[in-house]
């Protein structure tokens, strides 16, 4: 006969992307609330589950690190992580970055680091791709240029967008984000990098 820990672990494993909330587990009525919390705590201590944040659990190992990162920090996948999902780089990041409005911080789960980076009013410009919310290609470029420490090497970033350039609408979107910059130093830096990225651009402005 299966133990309660097995039922709970399987319930988490069989959830979408192996992630669920304590509220959904309670709705299964496998046991009372206190017993469920004790069982979850034991599963986390044994390494079978990961506590992403209060009330949110993932099976271990993680099935989809991008979904897990978003379940840990509310926001959109950005920077080098978004470059990977947009196939602008082949380098799978082990530090998954989530762009948030105000939350900053990081959590480590095994080999992965989930990092929240606050962009405040600039935390806009995202879309859904296979169930993952990530920055658009235009916003990914903007974010990577705005805070380059969370991007890939500048030369690789420039080459990525030269080989797969923004189309006319994406470029218009990118230009809009430039209006959000209020630092003359950053604007000058953007202009220099823009020239490098768009110098051979045939998509126009």
Using one digit for the tens of pLDDT, what is the confidence trace for 88-103?
999 898 899 999 999 9
| 82 plus 31 within the same structural domain | no
> What residue spans of 86-129 are helical by DSSP H?
none
Q: What are phi and psi of 48, to 5 degrees?
A: -80, -30
Closest to 71 in 3D by CA, of 14, 140, 131:
131
Domain membership of residue 32 (yes or no) is: yes
Rg (alpha carbons) of the chain, rounded to whole number: 20
The last residue of a domain, from among 31, 59, 87: 59
pLDDT surpasses 90 at 200: no
The pTM of this model reads 0.93
In the numeric block, which tokens belong to residue 157? 């970033």
User: 138-190, pLDDT tens digit by residue?
Assistant: 999 999 999 999 999 999 999 999 999 999 999 999 999 999 999 998 888 89
CA distance 68 to 58: 7
Please report, for the domain that includes residue 47, its CATH number: 1.10.10
Domain that holds residue 33: 4-59
Position 205 pLDDT exceeds 70? no
205 located within any domain: no
Q: Does 157 reside within a domain?
A: yes
The span from the CA of 143 to the CA of 123, in Å, is 9
Regarding whether 39 and 15 lie in a shared domain, the answer is yes
User: Do residues 133 and 186 both lie within one domain?
Assistant: yes
Mean pLDDT, rounded, of the chain: 94
pLDDT on residue 203: 55
Count of Cβ atoms closer than 10 Å to residue 155 Cβ: 9
């Amino acid at each position: 006969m299966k133990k309660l820990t097995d039922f709970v672990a399987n319930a988490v494993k069989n959830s979408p992307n192996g992630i669920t909330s304590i509220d959904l587990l309670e709705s299964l009525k496998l046991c009372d609330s206190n017993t469920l919390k004790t069982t979850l705590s034991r599963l986390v201590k044994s390494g079978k589950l990961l506590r992403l944040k209060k009330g949110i659990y993932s099976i271990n190992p993680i099935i989809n690190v991008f979904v897990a990162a978003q379940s840990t920090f509310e926001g959109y996948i950005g920077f080098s992580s978004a470059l990977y999902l947009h196939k602008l780089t082949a380098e799978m990041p082990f530090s998954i970055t989530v762009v948030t409005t105000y939350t900053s911080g990081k959590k480590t789960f095994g080999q992965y680091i989930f990092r929240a980076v606050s962009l405040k009013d600039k935390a806009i410009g995202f879309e859904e791709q296979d169930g993952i919310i990530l920055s658009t290609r235009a916003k990914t470029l903007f974010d990577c240029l705005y805070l380059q420490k969370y991007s890939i090497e500048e030369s690789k970033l420039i080459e990525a967008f030269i080989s797969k350039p923004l189309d006319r609408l994406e470029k218009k979107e990118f230009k809009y984000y430039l209006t959000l910059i209020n630092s003359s130093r950053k604007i000058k830096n953007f202009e220099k990098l823009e020239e490098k990225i768009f110098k051979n651009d045939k998509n126009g402005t």
